[in-house]
Chains A and B, each alone.
Chain A
Amino acid sequence: MSFAQIMEFLRPMLSIGWLPAAVACSAAVAGLVADMFDAEKTGVAIVAGGLAIAALVSFGAAIIPVSASTTLITTTFGLVMTGGAFAGLACIVYLTAFLSCGTGLFSLRAGSRASAAALIGAGAAAGQVLLGASDILVLFIALELLALIAYALVASGGNDRSDEAAARYFVQGSVATGLAVLGVAVLVGLSAGASGYVELGTSLASMVPGAALLGGMLLVSALAFKLGAFPFHSWVPDAYETAPAGTAAFLAASVKAAAIGGFTLLLVRLMTIPAFLPLVMAVRIIAAASIVFGNLAALKQTSVGRMLGYSAIAQVGYVLVGAGVSPISTESVAAVFLFAATYAMGAATAFVALEFFATGEPTWDGSIGGLAGIASKHPAVSGALTVALLSMTGIPLTAGFWGKFFVFYGAAQNGLLWLVITGLVGSAISFAYYGRVIRSMYIDVSATGNEVAAEQGSDVAPRVRAWPSLIGAAVVLFAGIAPLIWGLSLVYALFAFR
């Protein structure tokens, strides 16, 4: 059977948009069942396997035209869109969740790992729903489900600090939820009960600005909180630092990618309505402020997790640069999706590499200085972390370059040169802190002496896994180099709305 025949055989299956979500959810349930029988490791592995299958199915759905005559974007349940770019980004959501579970989540307490993995599995499915939502209520429900899972995962560290961070995150998140409920209520109420994006758009188009704009502002504020954009960012560094690195990979990558996808689509619909045009400027200002604040605040961090948290604020700023383009085209949405995917891969790779260091080096205190000289001991994982950090900086030959390039290109075409330059200078600044980690790993010499730590490490640590970070780095590098060889169309293939 040739490759084409196999694909032809698989086509009906791949066109089922909800299949990956179903696989991920079943794996999550199976993982919990395995945990009941005290097979925790197996439970985590089952969830990871399910997520891997979900990622592959999504990948297939993204690259294979489901039917030549119809568009790739198909609506399942009438409310969630799949196929095409949605499947491409869903693939990244599942892949990063897979990397997160693939670490074995050893930095969590024994006994809570399988349940955390099950949460990640269910969360990834919710992520697919979130990013493909075509109804504001579906978006809201998926968002709250993900938020609940995120609170639990932040608390999964099981110590006082993580409890405190989770409680703070929960309280702040509740306020944002309140804003979102109000905003959704205003919009749905104004459009006489219609909640689908298309119906919402048509009925709001004739509204006078005022009440609708208020609803839109409430909603945008809530979304900015969920994304962690300035000035609604304060939970991000706390959550990323205190959550165990393995689960932080899911929070920073999968959740973020799904949220970016879902919100961009909503913003695109909203911002074509005349009443909401002032929101465009608000999004641009939030973008610039997030870039400036995130990059400057990350500069002075000493903890790697916290630094990645602040840098995530800046990265959301780049996303909003792409989303603040008006009138938005399918190309610019594709650019935002591409950026979301490249950032998610970079962040996931970085956090799973940190998970490796956290479990493999029990003496490591999570600081940048604490990584001194670690490259000579763990060359492969250090290399993976370096690739991830370079990608998040946006250096060519990594995937991150293409993400930033297309976002900024779209913004420049829209005449937003000031935003482009802010973003680019922000990227340059970002190397000052990403580069510090690289410098620490490769150039600095460890103060404590590695041999002692190594002996302790081999006694205490469970078998730590390097492969998730290596897979992540391989994907980042491949996606960075392949377009140079096979042309730029490859970049768009996964994320374009055909």
Chain B
Amino acid sequence: MTLLGLILLPLVGAAVAWIVGRSRPTAPRFVAIVTSVAVFGLAIAALVQVLQSGDHALSATTKGMLLVLDGLSLPLVLLTGLLGVVAVTASWAMTDRPGVHHALLLALEAAVMTVFLAGDLILFYVGWEAVLIPMFFLIGGWGHENRRHAALKFFLYTFVGSVLMLAGLIVVMMTVKSTVIGAPTTAIDLATQSWLFWLVAIGMLVKIPVFPLHTWLPDAHVEAPTAGSIMLAGVLLKMGGYGLMRVAIPYAPAGFAAASPVLGAFGSAGIIYGALMAFAQVDLKRLVAYSSVAHMGFVVLGIATGTALGYAAAMLAMVSHGLVSALLFLLVGSLYERTHTREIARFGGLGARTPRWGGLFVFAALASLGLPGLSGFPGELLAMIQGFGAFGWWMVFAAIGALLGAVYNLSAVRRVVHGERAPEWDALADITRSDTIAAIVLCVGIVVIGVVPGLVLRLTDPAVTLLVRALGGGS
């Protein structure tokens, strides 16, 4: 019931927000915040239930679908619940058709929950595609200057990836004669696995996005409204990593084993490429967008190692990136709302003018560069250590990428927060109260996971152990 509620509650909230929004423009945000807080509460209730249950997993079936919650999905469900609240808070001041906006946000949350909770392949795919529709309208309806183009590009790129994934899923379903997600009872033969893995994984690799398939991301992130960017970077990208671990790898373990060096190379390339591109940007939001490519590179790297600790590192890095990128997009969005520009060169000395915003931005940049004690550090370090075990000295490249992470983050801080005060922003107001609250919630999460990463690892541990055991490996 809890699991079904995680999907249905945001849908009901969406309907209510849309209906009340037609007559009273200020009502939808209250509906949305109440709903999203309730969904987060449900997610925590689910966490408690999972911890109490013996086998570290919950499942629920109705006639048409099977829902499962275990260590692999639980951290991401919690993340989705939290970021759902943050996204609503970030669009608190939304005046343009607020009812539809909040309804779309909640519908998006329901679709993402469906992906993370799906226990059978059809429902998984349904949720996977359903995510696109609200996101398309969010980018198109509330985005920035180039939203027309970005909305369609986002939809098409990810849709092409996911239809190939559907072809792969169809092959899986007809080979194992079951749609229930899990390690197949009869293994798919090795020759099939080698191409099947890529066919299934391509949709997920586009979503993550892995380095050569990332081209949709900067446009979509930059043009999306703040709440959309938060959900996109914080949650939607995680669907890719989750899908790899939940679906692609268990069904085609041998294909994955053959593909893992390539995946590892793509991941490392993404780390370096994302960092270099981020460093070259003149648009602050674009910089944050490219930093996502770099961070998700660590996720791919962790997964590519194929070890239990590697998967755990990927989960940790995904949760961390969810919090950090949401914080960064929240701050950039808040700055844009007050200055109507994202051009880095026009800022300067904002730390003195808007101390609260500046302090939070410095904190976010430090979290993004992977400062020990903050959430980015443990996941990315673990991924690299596991990478050394799996790929040897090639990891030097990933390490260089991690170093570059410090470069672009610190240079952004220097150019925006420190430096000469730009006279143009002398009258600039500081970050709004609602944004501050949302940012502080995220900061707390970042610190907690940074100091006690074991919290996440404890949740994921039973699931990744099962996963590795099913693959016939060990760690």
B140 contacts the other chain (Cβ, under 8 Å)? Answer: yes
**9-residue interface stretch from B71-79, B168-176, B258-266, B337-345:** B168-176
Give chain B residues whose Cβ lies under 8 Å from the Cβ of A484.
Answer: 64-65, 123, 126
B152 contacts the other chain (Cβ, under 8 Å)? Answer: yes
| Contact code string B139-172 (vs A, CB < 8 Å = 1, else 0) | 0110000011001100110011001101100110
Bound-complex Cα distance A424 to B164 (A) = 7
Q: Is A428 a contact of B141 with CB atoms below 8 Å?
A: no
Provide the main secondary structure of the chain A interface.
helix
B63 contacts the other chain (Cβ, under 8 Å)? Answer: yes
A409 CB contact (under 8 Å) in B62, B130, B155, B174: B174
Give, as a whole number of angstroms, the nearest-CB distance from B140 to chain A. Answer: 4
Give chain A residues whose Cβ lies under 8 Å from the Cβ of B377.
Answer: none
The closest CB in chain B to the CB of A420 belongs to B167
**9-residue interface stretch from A121-129, A262-270, A393-401:** A393-401
The closest CB in chain B to the CB of A483 belongs to B64
Mark out the residues of chain B between 162 and 220 whose CB falls within 8 Å of any chain A CB in the assembled complex. 163-164, 166-167, 170-171, 173-174
Provide the main secondary structure of the chain B interface.
helix
B129 contacts the other chain (Cβ, under 8 Å)? Answer: yes
Q: Is A486 a contact of B64 with CB atoms below 8 Å?
A: yes
Q: Is A395 a contact of B132 with CB atoms below 8 Å?
A: yes
Bound-complex Cα distance A47 to B84 (A) = 51
Q: Is B159 a contact of A431 with CB atoms below 8 Å?
A: yes
Give chain B residues whose Cβ lies under 8 Å from the Cβ of A420.
Answer: 167, 170
B133 contacts the other chain (Cβ, under 8 Å)? Answer: yes
Q: Is B133 a contact of A409 with CB atoms below 8 Å?
A: no
Q: Is A390 a contact of B133 with CB atoms below 8 Å?
A: yes
Bound-complex Cα distance A248 to B140 (A) = 30
Give chain A residues whose Cβ lies under 8 Å from the Cβ of B298.
Answer: none
* Chain B interface residue count, Cβ-Cβ cutoff 8 angstroms: 33
Give chain B residues whose Cβ lies under 8 Å from the Cβ of A13.
Answer: none
Give, as a whole number of angstroms, the nearest-CB distance from A437 to chain B. Answer: 11
Among A429, A438, A444, A487, which residue has the most Cβ atoms of chain B within 10 A?
A438
* Chain A interface residue count, Cβ-Cβ cutoff 8 angstroms: 33
B336 contacts the other chain (Cβ, under 8 Å)? Answer: no
Bound-complex Cα distance A103 to B125 (A) = 36
A435 contacts the other chain (Cβ, under 8 Å)? Answer: yes
Bound-complex Cα distance A408 to B125 (A) = 15
Bound-complex Cα distance A405 to B129 (A) = 13
Give chain B residues whose Cβ lies under 8 Å from the Cβ of A421.
Answer: 164, 167
Give chain B residues whose Cβ lies under 8 Å from the Cβ of A397.
Answer: 126, 129-130, 133
Q: Is B160 a contact of A428 with CB atoms below 8 Å?
A: yes
Bound-complex Cα distance A484 to B156 (A) = 25
Give chain A residues whose Cβ lies under 8 Å from the Cβ of B129.
Answer: 395-397, 401
Q: Is B174 a contact of A412 with CB atoms below 8 Å?
A: yes
Q: Is B159 a contact of A428 with CB atoms below 8 Å?
A: yes
B174 CB contact (under 8 Å) in A413, A439, A442: A413
Give, as a whole number of angstroms, the nearest-CB distance from A479 to chain B. Answer: 13
B137 contacts the other chain (Cβ, under 8 Å)? Answer: yes
Bound-complex Cα distance A442 to B123 (A) = 28
| Contact code string A361-399 (vs B, CB < 8 Å = 1, else 0) | 000000000000000000000000000001000011100
Give chain A residues whose Cβ lies under 8 Å from the Cβ of B136.
Answer: 435, 438
Give, as a whole number of angstroms, the nearest-CB distance from A234 to chain B. Answer: 28
6 closest A-B pairs by CB:
A396-B126, A424-B163, A443-B140, A428-B160, A487-B63, A487-B64
